[in-house]
Structure 1
Amino acid sequence: MSSPIKDFSDLKSLHKTLKKKKEAEKREEEARRRKEREVEREASLFRDSIGDVVPLDASDRVVPQSPKPAPIPNQRIADNKAALHESIFDEFNVDTLLETDADLSYRKNGIAQEVVRRLRRGHWIIQDELDLHGQRRDEARERLVEFLRRCTLKGFRCVRVIHGKGLGSVNQEPVLKKLVHGWLVQREEVIAFVQAKGVDGGSGALLVLLKGK
């Protein structure tokens, strides 16, 4: 709250203050008008430079829309992984299902021996491969199941699975090699497999024949 005016000197001081305030407001108003005139002048120059133009009709304008990413079916992925994990077992005696010829081989019931011979001769081109060498048991099993599923969806017929020779295992026993044999014979999409040739991995790998579409 302003202090009360006591004498003429106070009144004179108030008058000066009000005058200064009014002058300041006048300068601000002049500056604002100059700014408006400058903007209008620039707009006029722009209109003169482009000539007569007709605005485009905005009624037919199409606003591009970026495709939304597909939702990730986390629950279905988890369920599929659980089902795939349970579809093969470690403790599976595969010895009676393997052919004890010069080179280890397997063929599902109903598959002719000629199919195994053609697989061994390289009749089918190797379309993909999975290297499980050095993997832990659970990780190797999951990767193998997922690999077979993916190859089946792509329509691949012949793939290579590298399990290693077990030289780095305890007592240099090929533990993973035997597990892979057991896992493969339990898979519905696997109809045959043979030990790879030396150039393809020899006793450390298998050529696997899958069902066709």
Structure 2
Amino acid sequence: MANKDASFLDEVKDVNPLKVKSKTIDSAPKKPKPIPRKLIEDEGKALLDSLSDEYVSPEIESDENNYFLRSGHSPDIIKRLKRGYWTVEGSIDLHGLVTEEAKECVVKFIQECKKKGIRCIRIIHGKGYGSINKEPVLKNKVRNWLSQKDEVIGFSEAPRHDGGSGVVIVLLKSNN
């Protein structure tokens, strides 16, 4: 075997490699681009900080079917949300989370949906049965956070068979 290796090396000793520039042949592997982790972290914190827990939107209706519609949009949007016109493409459940965890989850969830082009989402905040005073803590907070997000066109309380007052159906702006 050593004899074959030696004869092969002897035969190719004067060969020079071809200098070919090809899009398919890459002589040196490219280094991956660095991930700007600090920038991503800072942007996430800025988004969280931009939502106030004390803010109360004057546009949120306070009847038995809470809803919100950003000004400049057709009232038909709320009717369609209540009737299930749009298919819910994403859902998040906030049960068991404290306010800050819930806020972070809502912000990240909306960002992900925006990236994926998802328009109609469901946010389950619960009815408050598990809270200390048996009062819904997250219900009003989630609705106020949503009304502060520019991506949100509107939202409506889910129909009774879909969770009723413990769930909100949200319509997001399209990426177009």
Q: Say if 2:73 is the partner of 1:114.
A: no
Q: Which runs of 5+ in 1 are unaligned?
A: 1-41, 48-53
User: Equivalents in 2 of 1:67, 1:200: separation in Å?
Assistant: 50
The counterpart of 2:104, out of the listed 132, 142, 154, is: 142
What whole-Å deviation, never above 9, does each CA across 1:102-155 have from its counterpart, x for those lacking one? 422111112221110011111111111111111111111111111112212222
The counterpart of 2:33, out of the listed 52, 61, 70, is: 70
Q: How does 1:124-143 map onto structure 2 within 5 Å? A: 124-143=86-105
Q: Which runs of 5+ in 2 are unaligned?
A: 6-10
User: Equivalents in 2 of 1:72, 1:63: separation in Å?
Assistant: 23
User: Equivalents in 1 of 2:16, 2:59: separation in Å?
Assistant: 76
What corresponds to 1:165 in structure 2? Answer: 127
- Between 1:190-199 and 1:174-183, the stretch displaced more is 190-199
What corresponds to 1:91 in structure 2? Answer: 54
Which runs of 4 or more aligned residues in structure 1 lie more than 3 Å from their structure 2 counterparts after TM superposition?
A: 54-70
The TM-score normalised by the length of structure 2 is 0.81
What whole-Å deviation, never above 9, does each CA across 1:3-50 have from its counterpart, x for those lacking one? xxxxxxxxxxxxxxxxxxxxxxxxxxxxxxxxxxxxxxx534x58xxx
Q: Secondary structure at the match of 2:133?
A: helix
Aligned partner letter, 2:18: S
Aligned partner letter, 1:181: R
User: Equivalents in 2 of 1:117, 1:173: separation in Å?
Assistant: 28
- Count of matched residue positions in the alignment of Structure 1 and Structure 2: 168
Shift of 1:93: 2.1
User: Equivalents in 2 of 1:120, 1:208: separation in Å?
Assistant: 10
User: Equivalents in 2 of 1:66, 1:125: separation in Å?
Assistant: 44
- Between 1:66-75 and 1:54-63, the stretch displaced more is 54-63
More helix by share: 1
What corresponds to 2:166 in structure 1? Answer: 204
Say if 1:139 and 1:64 are closer, same or farther in 2 by CA, change over 3 A: farther
The TM-score normalised by the length of structure 1 is 0.68
Q: Secondary structure at the match of 2:122?
A: strand
Q: Does 1 or 2 have the higher relative contact order (CA < 8 Å, sep 6+)?
A: 2
Q: CA RMSD in A?
A: 2.6
CA contact (8 A) 1:129 1:161 kept: yes
Q: Say if 2:153 is the partner of 1:191.
A: yes
